[in-house]
Amino acid sequence: MPQPMSRPILSVDGLSKVYEGGFTALDAVSLEIREGEILALLGPNGAGKTTLIGSVCGLIQPSGGRVLVDGHDTLTDYRAARRLIGLVPQEINLEPFEKVISTVRFSRGLFGKRRNEALIERILRQLSLWDKRDSPIRALSGGMKRRVLIAKALAHEPRILFLDEPSAGVDVELRRDMWEVVRNLKRDGVTIILTTHYLEEAEAMADRIGVINKGQILLVEDKDALMKRLGKKELVIELREPVPAVPEALRHYGLRPTGNGHRLVYTYDTHGERTGITRLLADIQAAGLHLCDVETRESTLEEIFVDLVAEERAAP
Ligand SMILES: Nc1ncnc2c1ncn2[C@@H]1O[C@H](COP(=O)(O)OP(=O)(O)OP(=O)(O)O)[C@@H](O)[C@H]1O
Ligand SMILES: [Mg+2]
């Protein structure tokens, strides 16, 4: 849970980035991250997530605005600010012939920190890489490489960790391990900002969720509140014979026919007391319809954007 009393450790104020050629990738983004929280930044391809992270970490020169990392300005006090940050980049950029353990050690050295073998061991164990410590990077799977990136980012004991799409190219099982790793880091007191395309991932890990689209932050909200507002699911009911219209007895469910009447789509709130599914299925049978399959589907990010934009328009 977020700690409402914790102080902001990172504040981004009016940050903009206009790339050469004139494209505005960040449009006056302001954001405050509290110490010890996990913030998930959710947004489609090209939304500006990597640009935002790069601008905060000093990889990208912002066109305007200000970033303070625990009070240190990233432009005027870069080294002090950067030391507090660990970055797990979206692109895997490792030396293929280097050994796992030396790669991680080297990262610590880059920040001028003294050798600390016990710490390196703890990090490698935490990421299930200890057994692979003497393997060359090229002998690792994609998911392992991503964990090496995390180990590298942690080697200088940062207080804020940025994870740019930590589970890209990672299979479902490893993805859950990754979530566990992130939760453990939080337990150690690390503040975490991660980006993702997946609502499910944001939901699994975050205390707060920020939604970014076209270089603008659409909202930042407590996860629970946001999920309650937007976490809809759909039940797609496949019928053996198509129906020309939704039968009168089923009208109150608000079913949406699709596929020339072969399917009925029922939308429900995953956070409601009752989903109404049991009764709906019974009523469908009672109405004389035969179903051959049912399938559930979560709202996609695109649908959430549509909902968000519609809500903003509806607001006075
Ligand atoms: N070096 C660059 N020069 C010009 N435009 C760029 C550059 N880097 C990124 N962009 C543009 O800025 C926009 C935001 O890119 P960014 O990589 O920040 O998006 P993202 O949200 O991280 O997307 P993804 O989910 O695909 O990683 C995109 O339209 C991209 O084409
Ligand atoms: Mg990106």
Q: Which atom of ligand 1 is nearest to the CA of 53?
A: 18
Number of Cβ within 10 Å of residue 130's Cβ equals 15
Give the per-residue pLDDT at 228. 72
Question: According to CATH, where is 3.40.50.300 located in the chain?
Answer: 8-229
**CATH of 232-298 given 3.30.70, 2.60.40, 1.10.20, 3.40.50:** 3.30.70
Give the per-residue pLDDT at 180. 87
Residue 16 phi/psi, 5° resolution?
-130, 150
Give the per-residue pLDDT at 170. 76
Closest CA to 191 of 71, 37, 79: 37
Question: According to CATH, where is 3.30.70 located in the chain?
Answer: 232-298
Quick one: pLDDT band at residue 181, thresholds 50, 70, 90? confident
Ligand 1 test: best mutation among 23, 214, 216, most atoms within 8 Å of CB? Answer: 23
Q: For ligand 1, atom 12, which residue shows the shortest CA distance?
A: 25
As a CATH number, domain 8-229 is 3.40.50.300
Distance in Å, CA 47 to ligand 1 centroid: 7
Give the per-residue pLDDT at 32. 96
Quick one: pLDDT band at residue 169, thresholds 50, 70, 90? confident
Give the per-residue pLDDT at 297. 81
Number of Cβ within 10 Å of residue 231's Cβ equals 18
The amino acid sitting at 289 is L
pLDDT tops 70 at residue 4: no
Give the per-residue pLDDT at 173. 77
Rounded distance, CA 135 to CA 277, Å? 51
What whole-number percentage of the chain has pLDDT above 70? 91
Distance in Å, CA 175 to ligand 2 centroid: 18
- The average confidence (pLDDT) of the chain is 89
Residue 60 phi/psi, 5° resolution?
-125, 135
- Residue 23 CB less than 6 A away from ligand 1: yes
Rounded distance, CA 191 to CA 182, Å? 10
Of 4-13, 138-147, 189-198, 250-259, the poorest mean pLDDT is in: 4-13
Q: For ligand 1, atom 24, which residue shows the shortest CA distance?
A: 45
What does R_g of the chain's alpha carbons equal in angstroms?
23
- The residues placing their C-beta within 5 Å of ligand 2, an ion, are 49-50, 90
Rounded distance, CA 134 to CA 132, Å? 6
What tokens were used for 316? 């006075």
Distance in Å, CA 34 to ligand 2 centroid: 23
The larger pLDDT score, comparing residue 172 to residue 147, is at 147
Residue-wise pLDDT for 248-287, tens only, equals: 999 999 998 888 889 999 988 776 677 889 899 999 999 9
H-type alpha helices, the chain: 49-57, 78-83, 100-110, 117-126, 142-154, 172-187, 199-205, 223-230, 277-286, 301-314
Of 115-119, 262-266, 287-291, 311-315, the poorest mean pLDDT is in: 311-315
